Amino acid sequence: MVSPDHIEQVEPLDDELVESWQRLTDEPLLRGVEAHLYDDGSWQVGLWVAEFVREEPAESELRGRMLDALRAVPGAIRVYEEDREVWVVEGTPPGRALVAAAAEVVDSLGQAIRRQYPEMTWTDA
């Protein structure tokens, strides 16, 4: 079992990525978070659970809290949702801090999401 707060820097998977961070967890589909710094200086923060959370009240709660949490990270100047699973953060925030902020959001909503989606298996097995 992986510690629920294990955040580590990982090797970027693309040439246009400068830096990548990931939160490792035993429930990656629910609690998985990653952040990638692109060569243009912007970060993309991805939540794996955002692909599945499409019903209210969980969807609005997740999206609103993510914007607030990412905006609160020191160095974040502009934050916006790029698509269903990805938020863009402009400025100079640390990658580890972005992942930690996003992880706190999914952890705070984890029980509510589990209740709203009882049919989901949140492991990747």
- Give the range among 37-41, 55-59, 67-71, 79-83 with minimum mean pLDDT: 55-59
Structural domain count, the chain: 1
**Residue 56 domain-assigned (yes or no):** yes
**Residue 1 domain-assigned (yes or no):** no
- pTM score of the predicted model: 0.92
Average pLDDT of the residues of the chain:
92
Cα torsion angle, 83, 15, 5, 121, sign: positive
**Residue 122 domain-assigned (yes or no):** no
53-74 residue pLDDT tens: 999 989 999 999 999 999 999 9
**Residue 58 domain-assigned (yes or no):** yes
**Residue 125 domain-assigned (yes or no):** no
- The CATH code of the domain that includes 59 is 3.30.1360
DSSP code at position 54: -
Which of 83, 12, 77 shows the shortest CA–CA distance to 47? 83
Domain that holds residue 103: 6-116
**Residue 31 domain-assigned (yes or no):** yes
